Amino acid sequence: AQSVSQHNHHVILSEAASLELGCNYSYGGTVNLFWYVQYPGQHLQLLLKYFSGDPLVKGIKGFEAEFIKSKFSFNLRKPSVQWSDTAEYFCAVTGEYGNKLVFGAGTILRVKS
Partner 1 sequence: EAGVAQSPRYKIIEKRQSVAFWCNPISGHATLYWYQQILGQGPKLLIQFQNNGVVDDSQLPKDRFSAERLKGVDSTLKIQPAKLEDSAVYLCASSQMPASARGNEQFFGPGTRLTVL
The residues that touch partner 1, with contacts defined as CB under 8 A, are: 4, 9, 32, 34, 36, 42-46, 49, 51, 90, 92, 94, 96-106
Sequence letter at residue 78: K
CB of 77 to partner 1, least distance (A): 20
Of 51, 53, 98, 48, residue with least CA distance to 75: 48
Q: What are phi and psi of 7, to 5 degrees?
A: -70, -35
CB of 95 to partner 1, least distance (A): 9
CB of 20 to partner 1, least distance (A): 19
* Number of neighbouring beta carbons within 10 Å of residue 11: 17
For partner 1, the closer of residues 41 and 113 by Cβ is: 41
Task: Using DSSP, state whether 61 is helix, strand or coil.
Answer: helix
d(CA 105, CA 91): 8
For partner 1, the closer of residues 15 and 96 by Cβ is: 96
For partner 1, the closer of residues 16 and 105 by Cβ is: 105
